[in-house]
Structure 1
Amino acid sequence: MPRTVPFTKGHGTGNDFVLIADPDGELDLTDDQVAALCDRHFGIGADGMLRVVRSTAIDEGAAAAASGAEWFMDYRNADGSKAEMCGNGTRVFARYLLETGLAGIDDGLSIGTRAGVKRLTRSDDGFEVDLGPFAIAPDETLVRARGLPVARPGVGVDVGNPHVVVALSSVSELADLDLAYQPLLDPAPRAGANVEFVVPEDPLVRDGVGAIRMRVFERGVGETLSCGTGVAAAALAVRHWAGAAAPDRWIVDVPGGRLGVRVSGESVLLSGPASLVYTGEVALA
């Protein structure tokens, strides 16, 4: 008989996840099993899966365990593929740890990921996660997308996972994008990339805080209502384009809500809400 496991459904600004607790690393989920769980027609439905496992119980968690991070976020895309990191996922993961009593956050909470250990603290709207150092690529990437009449240049931004950010001219141009089709990148990154399309608000900066709107196509998933690392990448790209006078604080509106971005030295931090929606049991495919 198929194995039945408990699960929790959660989301951060509409970026939704299936969480499965596997503290001792006993589950060896295949790509197909993860994809079945995330299927919106035949499964629970989600943009990805978060396996809650102790850092000592997963080979990729050795460095996290050595740094004192008890828990590792084994994040998988909706197609089952492994991903380095998920900004919204870290906040939902933290919410789960707190509400199930597996961890506290009084002095901060460290979580292991494939992109290193990420530290979370409470914020006014939920949690803030330090995504760590970021890098902006020196060369442009040409992006073709359904709904754009001509290809547009994009800038590569690495925030633990790869992104390409494209600036658009208007809200209507952003709305006209058909992200049911995957954008094409030239040159194509070897491991793929999430692609963000952004429009600056008018004015771009108000009271020292920048503001933009964004839509995103996530590799291995498709268009999502929100992407935490994508939000950070989009703010960093617009900040880069705006020049030396650009602010370090940004508000980013996505279809699923609003997130905050803060640049501190060489690191970028992401803040926003995280919710757990329901629990249940599911038979693994």
Structure 2
Amino acid sequence: MVGLAQRIDTAQGSFEPSPGSSATGPASRSGHPGASPQRAGASLDIQQVSHAFDLDGSTLPVLDQVDLHIEPGEFVALLGPSGCGKSTLLRLIAGLEPPSEGALQENGQPITGPHPSRVVVFQDPTLFPWRTVWRNVALGPEAQGTLKQQRQRVDQTIDRVGLSQFSKAFPHQLSGGMAQRVSLARALVNDPAVLILDEPLGKLDSLTRLTMQSEIVSLWRNQGFTAVLVTHDVEEALFMATRVIVFSERPARIKADFKVDLPYPRHRGDPRLAELRHQSLSLLGLDASW
């Protein structure tokens, strides 16, 4: 897999690219090929994090000694078996609950709860049906008491996701893809340092999903936030992310950690993506044939 990854670490060993293999195109300050040079995202540190749930008096371990550093402006995709703990890790990063063991930090500061610098986009858009697109996107500035000063930013964010003509529409008048764009705009209007994506495209039809993948990558490249994506779609992870983390079965441990050393914009027919897909499916214990 020449030039596909800078590193694949597994329990069995590691992969290193051949000498001289590299992606072409502009790189950010943190070295991500093809990314915007203006990186404004935050670093994340997950330090020996374990987590368990109490179920009817018994303990269900979900995460086991997860240790991970994410550079500012990286786009990291989390892959692993269903129910292994990926979404739980996102909740911990978001500060929605504390870990059972270990610590999490954003830019070196402890994560002790939710913060406007970290926003989550879920699988369901969860829009308020009585609010227009504009009013849904304006929810954050309104809650913070800054809407009067942020009206232009709301307009710009809606335009950035391609919905200027629908700013007065209500959620029931939108397609699934449009509703998810509103959800993204609502998150991005707060200018987050970390965008947490919990399978945001999982319920979209295949064509809309492909379009939204490209749009999210474009927003990330333009705005420079750090992105952490949970997905069960290997192709989605490889098409969007600068780095992929593969988890084991529950309780989740990091099974592999590799960088996708390909420039943006990426092309779905690139044979190097097919090669890396084969490697990723093998790590997941799945059939790697098309």
> Which TM-score applies when normalising by structure 1?
0.27
Higher relative contact order (CA 8 A, sep 6+): 2
* Bigger fraction of residues in strand: 1
Higher helix residue share:
2
